[in-house]
Amino acid sequence: MQSDLLAKLKALAEPSRLRIVSLLSQGEMTVSEIIQVLGQSQPRVSRHLKLLADAGLCERFPEGGWVFYRLVRTGPVSRLAALIEDFTDTDDPQVQRDRQRLSELKRLRAQSAERFFEAAAVQWAQIRSMHFSEAAVEAELVRLVAGQRFTRHVDVGTGTGRMLELFSAQADEGMGVDLSREMLSVARAKLSEAGLSTRFVRQADASALPLDDGAADLVTVHQVLHYLSDPREALRECARVLAPDGVLLIVDFAEHRHETLRVEHHHRHLGFPPAQVTGWLTGAGLDLTQLVTLEPEGIKGGLTVLIWAARRPQDAHGDVPA
């Protein structure tokens, strides 16, 4: 334990590495972004990051041609990072320059994400006009877990990261996964704008989550299943990463006949019969606790939204049932 602490303190005993830790306390960053803020060469920044990662102070996450770094947010490391922030002199000219450059990077990141978001917004608005209001759906989700506290929230198919934001007051940490790099950029920008530095996103498939068994006590799957080729397998994967007594919330459409959603919006499934998803949950070893039906109001031929709430039994252990 003492040698581990000494290794961490040694890694921090360099001005540039302290600057990097201070930057990462504001949220995850790519190597190129850190280079731009520090004004140092790529080899030098990469060496600093390697030393910090080897000391267990930050984590490295490749994503396509990019590599993201974030501070470790658990155990003593989080307290070390907080101490560094407390002792950072915000009046120091170099600190001010770093913060200004970081702010400009965030602004450019948000602009880029917004361009993609605006291009997709027309399609999303068309779908939203066909079903129960999203605000009402979100209110129902919050009601289903009211008064509960979670250690780690995982949002599968995170899209804009909205679910991470919605449950940020109830979960200590949140991770969103999505296959689309464009959507991950949108989510990062939205989370940064909301000041949610303990929320982050990763590129991953819903059927192969980058998490250990039982790593999350809240998992959300919001309007994702109808895009997946094998939604049953995705729910088995959600069950695998769910801790005993953990909660799984699923939002999707009831079975419908709007073929245009398949043709124009790439939906693989035209909704689901309630019993079908319930059967998948049971087969994955979860207990259905509530099924909520939200009928469209005043929308002729509109889409019905279903919300499944399920729990993993407290005595659950071992593999998810086949």
Q: How does pLDDT run across 10-33, given as a tens digit for each residue? A: 888 899 998 998 888 888 888 888
pLDDT at 49 over 60: yes
Its pTM surpasses 0.85: no
Domain boundaries, the chain: 2-88, 121-311
Residue of higher predicted confidence among 32 and 123: 32
Residue of higher predicted confidence among 140 and 118: 140
Kindly state the average pLDDT of the residues 178-191.
Answer: 88
Q: Can you tell me whether residue 319 is helix, strand or coil?
A: coil
Average pLDDT, the chain: 86
Which CATH topology does 2-88 take? Arc Repressor Mutant, subunit A (1.10.10)
pLDDT score of 123: 60
Range 121-311 has CATH code 3.40.50.150: yes
Residues 226, 236, 163: CA angle, nearest 5 degrees: 55
pLDDT score of 314: 86
For 77-85, which contacts have Cβ atoms below 8 Å and span 24 or more sequence positions? 77/8, 80/8, 80/12, 81/21, 81/24, 81/25, 81/57, 84/12, 84/18, 84/21, 84/22, 84/25, 85/22, 85/25
Residue of higher predicted confidence among 49 and 103: 49
pLDDT at 64 over 90: no
Categorize the per-residue pLDDT at 259 as very low, low, confident or very high, splitting at 50, 70 and 90: confident
pLDDT at 322 over 80: no
